[in-house]
Structure 1
Amino acid sequence: MKNILVKGIFGIGLCTAVLAGCTNNSVAPSTKVTPIEIPESVATGSGQFAFDFFKNLQATQPATENLFVSPLSLHMAMGMLLAGAQGETASEIKTALKLNDISEDDLQQAYKVLIRDLPIADSRVKVGLANSMWYKEGFPVKTDYTQGLKDIFNAEVTGLPFDATALAKINQWASDNTNKKIDKVLDSITADQVMFLLNALYFKGSWQSEFDPKNTKEAAYNLEDGTGKTTTMMFHEGTFDAASNDTYKALRLPYANGQFNMTLILPNDGVKIGDVMSAMKYTDWEDLQKSQLHGTKVMVGLPKFQLKYSVKLNKTLSQMGIQKVFLPGAELQGISSQNNLLVSFVKQDTFLGVDEEGTEAAAVTTIGIEVTSLPMVQKFICNKPFGLVISENTSNSILFMGRIMNPTLH
C-alpha cells in the first residue's frame, strides 16, 4: 500500500502565523520538518481507535475525574500482544484496534517508522518511544515471538527470576524511559505471572510561543457541578488556528516547529466536555483539521497544572470487544507452547505537566500475562473542564488525549 504524508486526526496542521507580543518568549520555528510516512490505512485506523478508546474509557470512569491517557502507547503495547495471539483472540484485538482492513506488513512497517522517526521529527521536541518484554526465567517463550518483538518493536527482551529484584528492574525501566515521571508501574509480581509487556512514551515540547510568566495569575475555575475554585492561569494573546461550532470551541497551540501540537477543546455553555469527547469521531476531527481551523486573534487562558493518572483498562477493552484474552483459553500460542496463558491486566500510568514554557507528558502501558491455575480578539479561557489532544502532524499519531476536570498544580 502506498505510504502518504497524513495530516488527519493525529496530526493538526502547522500554525504559520507569527504570534503577537511574545518576542522574548518565543521558540523560533525551525524550517526543517521531518515527515513521518505511514500507510493511510494504519493512520485512519489508529485515529478511529483513539477516539473509540477514549469514548469507552469515559464510560468506565467517574464523570468528575481527570482523565489522561496515551492511545499510541496502548495501541503499540496491544500490538506486541497481538503478535503472539491467534484465532478468535487475535480477531478481537484486531477489530478493537481497527486493523481488520490493514495488512500485517503495513502494520509492522508503521510501528517501525513511528519508533524510528517520532523521536527525531523535531529537534526542539523530545520524544521517547520504547518497548520491552520481561519474562520469568524458565518460562518457555517462543524464539519467533521474541525475535519479532526485537525486529518490529525494537523491544528489549529480558528473562529474570520474578522476585523483588525483577520488580525493581521493571519499575526502573519505566522510570528511565519517562524521565523519571513514572517511577512505578508494578506494586508486586504474583506467583502465576510469567510475562510483562511494556510500552513507554515520553514527550517534552516547548510552546512555539511561550506564555509570559508575568501574565500568570490566580483565576476562577468553574467545576462541572456548579461550584468554583481558584487555579493558576496562564494568559497569552496571539494569532492561533481556532474554530467553533454549536457544541465547542477548538484551538491549537503548536510546539517548536509546529509538527507537534496541543489542541484544546472547550465546551460551550451548558455542554459537558465528556459529552463532546464521547461524540467526537475520526471524521469530525478530520473535518475540523482540514477545513474549520483558521488563524484568529485570541486571548488564551490555560491552567498551569500537573497530574498523574493510573487506570486499569480491562473493562474498557472488554467494552471494545477484547474479551477472550482475559479468560482461560486465551489463544496466545504465538507467545509460548503452553496453552494456559491469559492476560491478567492491562493498565496505563501517565503524567502531564503544563506550564509557561510548554508541556511534559509520559505514559507507560503495562500488560501482565499469567498462567491460569487454571479580528476581534476572541477569548479562549479554559476556566472549566476541557479536553486536550497532543498529536504529530505527518504520521497522524495521537500521542495523548485528556479530559481535565479539576486542574491542580502540585
Structure 2
Amino acid sequence: MADVSNTSFTKQARSMNNKLVAANTNFGFKLFGQIFRQNSRENIFVSPTSVAIALSMTYNGASGTTQQAMAQTLQLQGMSLNEINQSQLALINILQNPDPKVKLSIANSLWAKKDVIFKPDFLQKSKEFYKAQVTNLDFANPNSPSIINGWVNQNTNGKIPKIIDRINPDDILFLINAIYFKGSWTKEFPKNATQQRPFTLLNGTRKQHPLMSQTGRFGYYENQSFQAISLPYGTRRLSMYVFLPKQNINLQSFYNNLTAENWEQWMNQFVSRQGTIVLPRFKLEYEVTLNQALQALGMGMAFQDRANFSGMTAVPAKINQVKHKTFVEVNEEGTEAAAVTSVGVTATSVQIPQQEPFRMVVDRPFFCAIRDNQTGTILFMGSIVEPK
C-alpha cells in the first residue's frame, strides 16, 4: 500500500513541477518582451528563473489583491501557495549540479531589519521551501550592505560582486536569489578555428569580432524566419539554444513571435543534423531594475503604498525595488553565467537521414537561451546585438 501512495506522490510532484515550469516560461518571455521594448538596441541578458524564485519567496508574504496581482504577473493562477512552494523546492533540488561537466547552484537569502517583527510562518517557508539563509541585520550599521554583497559575491563565484549600493532608512527586508552556472560544451570549439570576422550591428555597420567555428551533428531547426541550433553541455542535459533571425527578418518581429506557446512548438522541431556553426565569443555584464516591467505585467499594486504584505509582517510594507544583475561569458570551452535578483521591501531529437549539411553563421544580432532539457526550465535568455 505504501508503495502505491509513494508512486502517486511522485507523479503529483512531477505534474506540479510541469505546471510551475510552464508558469516560469510564460512569465520569462513576457518579462523579456517588456525589457526588450525598453532597451531593444542594447544587449539584454536575464535569468527568468532567478526573478521567478525571488518573487515567489516574496509572494509568500503577500495577501489579498496584492497576492492576486502577483499571481497574475507570475502566471501562477490556479496553483495553491503550497503547490507553488513544493514545486519550487522540487525544481531547485532537480536543477542543482545536474551533470559532472556542469556546475549549477541556486541560493536564496533573506535579510531582515533587526527590530522589525516578521511572521514566523513567512520566515519558516523561506527556509523550508527556498532553502533561504535568514539573517537579522542592523540596517543602520554602515557595514550591512557589504555583508549582503559578500553573500552575493560568494554565491556567484565572484562574477557579481555587488547588488546593493545602500540601505535606505525605510528598508525592512531584502530577498535575494543567486544562480551560478558553468558548463563545458559536449564538444569544444577548436581554438585554432576562431577567426576575426565581420559582425553586422543593428545600424548596418560591421565590426571585426572573434567568431568560433565547429562542424558536427547538432540539434537543428530552421523555418522561414530563423535558423536555430542546440549546443549541448556535458552529458547533454543542458543546452544553449541560439536563434538567428533570417537576413530579411526584423529583430522586433522575431521577438513579437517569441512566446511560450511558440517556444514549446519550436523545441519539438529540433532534429539531429550534420552542419557547421559559426558563433561569436562574447562576455557581458547586465543590470536592470525590473519595477517598470513588472508593473506593466500587472504587478503595480505590490509597489504602491496600499500594497498588502500582511503575510510577511504587521508593518505596512511594499516592494521598493526589484534589481536584477547577470554575467555571461561564452567561449571555446563553454559558458559561464550568473544572475542575482534582489527584491527590496520597504515600509509603506530524432535523426532524419539524407539532408544537406546546414551552415549557420551567427554574424548579426541573435537570441540565445540556456535551458535544462529535463525539466524545460529556461535558466537564462538574452538578446545579443553587439558581442563584446
Structure 1 residues 169 and 278: alpha-carbon distance in aligned structure 2, compared to 1, 3 A threshold: farther
Is 1:150 the counterpart of 2:127? The answer is yes
| Alpha carbons 2:365, 2:385 under 8 Å: kept | yes
2:352 is matched with which residue?
A: none
Alignment partners' CA distance in 2, 1:93 and 1:3: 28
Structure 1 residue 246 displacement after superposition = 1.5
Is 1:117 the counterpart of 2:94? The answer is yes
1:370 is matched with which residue?
A: 346
AA in 2 matched with 1:381: V
Is 1:45 the counterpart of 2:61? The answer is no
Alignment partners' CA distance in 1, 2:359 and 2:9: 42
Aligned-partner SS, 1:54? helix
How do residues 94-105 of structure 1 correspond to structure 2 at under 5 angstroms? Answer: 94-105=71-82
Is 1:178 the counterpart of 2:156? The answer is yes
Deviations for 1:57-84, whole angstroms, at most 9, x for unmatched residues? 21122x2100000000000000011000
Aligned-partner SS, 1:239? strand
2:374 is matched with which residue?
A: 394
Aligned-partner SS, 1:120? coil
Specify which of 218, 238, 241 is matched with residue 263 of structure 1: 241
- Considering fraction of residues, name the structure with more helix: 2
How do residues 15-30 of structure 1 correspond to structure 2 at under 5 angstroms? Answer: none
Structure 1 residue 3 displacement after superposition = 5.9
2:365 is matched with which residue?
A: 385
Aligned-partner SS, 1:164? coil
1:30 is matched with which residue?
A: none
Aligned-partner SS, 1:306? strand
Unaligned runs of 5+ in 2: 1-7, 349-354
Q: Across the two proteins, how many residue pairs are aligned to each other? A: 374
2:383 is matched with which residue?
A: 403
2:5 is matched with which residue?
A: none
Alignment partners' CA distance in 2, 1:2 and 1:49: 27
Specify which of 72, 78, 86 is matched with residue 55 of structure 2: 78
Is 1:66 the counterpart of 2:46? The answer is no
Deviations for 1:294-352, whole angstroms, at most 9, x for unmatched residues? 1112211111111000000000001100001111011001110112x111100100000
Structure 1 residues 226 and 126: alpha-carbon distance in aligned structure 2, compared to 1, 3 A threshold: same
1:237 is matched with which residue?
A: 215
Alignment partners' CA distance in 1, 2:188 and 2:291: 39
Structure 1 residue 144 displacement after superposition = 1.1
Unaligned runs of 5+ in 1: 7-35
Aligned-partner SS, 1:322? helix
2:136 is matched with which residue?
A: 159
Aligned-partner SS, 2:275? strand
Alignment partners' CA distance in 1, 2:197 and 2:15: 43
Aligned-partner SS, 1:320? helix
AA in 2 matched with 1:211: F
| Alpha carbons 2:174, 2:343 under 8 Å: kept | yes
Alignment RMSD? 1.7
Structure 1 residue 2 displacement after superposition = 7.3
Deviations for 1:19-48, whole angstroms, at most 9, x for unmatched residues? xxxxxxxxxxxxxxxxx8753222222221
Is 1:323 the counterpart of 2:300? The answer is yes
Structure 1 residue 5 displacement after superposition = 11
| Alpha carbons 1:41, 1:101 under 8 Å: kept | no
Alignment partners' CA distance in 2, 1:53 and 1:304: 26
Aligned-partner SS, 1:277? helix
AA in 1 matched with 2:364: K
Seq. identity, %: 33
Q: Which moved more, 1:68-77 or 1:274-283?
A: 274-283
TM-score by length of 1: 0.88
